[in-house]
Amino acid sequence: MVGVLEDLVMTETPSNDGTLIKAGIGMTAALVRRLLGETAETVEVDGRPHLRLRGGSANPVLVLCHLDTVWPAGTTRRWPFHVADGRASGPGVFDMKAGLVQALYALRSVGCADRVTLLITSDEEIGSPSSRALIEEEARGCRAALVFEPSANGALKTARKGTSMYRLLVEGRAAHAGLEPQRGVNALVELAHQVQALAALGDASVGTSVTPTTASAGTTMNTVPASALVDVDVRAWTAEEQSRVHEALSRLRPVLPGAALHLTGGVNRPPLESEQSATLADLADRCAQRLGLPPLGRAEVGGASDGNFTAALGVPTLDGLGAVGGNAHAEGEYVDTRLLGERAELICAVLEELTADDWGAE
């Protein structure tokens, strides 16, 4: 497993590099053939490839992974895959190439490929713009979805916040900042008013955050800015809160006379609420106990994943089945290599239960 993980990590797959993504998909398809003895289908959506291996049953289990990472091309030259003291480190090793390795080895061992659909996407880290419809298509009719994102210090991820992404463009009017600034409408000043209003829409008491992130304005030092923009990240535990924030954003109005606002964006991923994962989390706990493994634990996290999409369709969804490690998206991310096999064994047990003929029967 560690050798396969090294191959995957050293095959760089940054989300926005189409050439490297295609090479990574090709390498992963070969890995699927080698480990599972099956040929995965390459599905292209808007020119971006994803891998799909469908089982033959009418209501399979969906095994959901992604191959892309947040790390730019060339990262492995300064930070190659390496193992020391039971930890494997390298760009993307924790999020989520180790989870993909565990999923493949579990599928090889459990022998239920005809009752599983394996989907490996290539754009999760940028919001799944091309794969969302594919994920939802495969999820419909599935008995369950298992998501191999990293664990939370070993715990399952049983709830995730929904995410919304917006861009607010402010339109003003340019003027010479020294000769006649009064003729301008300062888009940056208007943006400052709007940023305060945006931030005030969060509600910490229910875990809703509205965070202005990247922003820009103006063209030259001596010109009243004619335009400005800000990107806004919204996180919420419930669809109701996402809707509340969306409606409030839609009601924003300019403060300065002559300014105009243009809002784009909306809900990217609905929440994964704990009710959608409870039955599967209980199953995983029982499997861990039967295998003599430590209690798994459960975590509610602010980050979203493709499991948010499957849960929103009413498909029972369990996330965080991936690796045990830390520092996702950060320098030095790592996985505990000593637990790779143990985690794969747990996944085998869960799959055996889920693919049984009587799963879900009263």
Q: What is the CATH number of domain 162-269?
A: 3.30.70.360
pTM over 0.85: yes
**Class of residue 58 by CB neighbours under 10 A (exposed 0-12, middle 13-18, buried 19+):** exposed
Question: What angle do helix axes 340-354 and 98-110 make, rounded to 10 degrees?
Answer: 50
Q: How far is CA 309 from CA 42, 55, 111, 133, in A?
A: 21, 21, 27, 9
User: Which residues does residue 43 pair with via DSSP β-bridges, in sequence order?
Assistant: 50
**What are 1-60's pLDDT values in tens digits?**
999 999 999 999 999 999 999 999 999 999 999 999 999 999 999 999 999 999 888 899
Sequence letter at residue 335: V
Decide which of 1.10.357.10, 3.30.300.20, 3.40.630.10, 2.40.70.10 is the CATH code for 2-160+271-354. 3.40.630.10
DSSP state for residue 94 in the 8-state scheme: I
Considering Cα of 144, then 146, then 152, then 153, what sign does the dihedral take? positive
pLDDT digits (tens, 9 = 90+) for 317-359: 999 999 999 999 999 999 999 999 999 999 999 999 999 987 7
> Catalytic annotation on 124?
yes
- The reply to whether omega before 10 is within 30° of 0 (cis) is no
Count Cβ atoms below 10 Å from residue 331 Cβ, excluding itself: 10
pLDDT number for residue 224:
98
Percent of the chain with pLDDT over 70: 99
Residues of the chain with CATH 3.40.630.10: 2-160+271-354
User: 125-154: per-residue pLDDT in tens?
Assistant: 999 999 999 999 999 989 999 999 999 999
Catalytic residue among 68, 125, 306, 342: 68
Delimiting residues of CATH 3.30.70.360 domain(s) in the chain: 162-269
Contacts for 152 with CB less than 8 Å, ≥ 6 apart: 297, 299, 301, 320
- Going by pLDDT thresholds of 50, 70 and 90, the confidence category of residue 114 is confident
Catalytic choice (124, 190, 342, 353):
124
- How many residues in the chain? 362
Residue 95 is among the residues annotated as catalytic for this protein: no
Residue 27 identity (one-letter amino acid): M
pLDDT tens for 227-252 read 999 999 999 999 999 999 999 999 99
CA 118 to the chain's CA centroid: 17
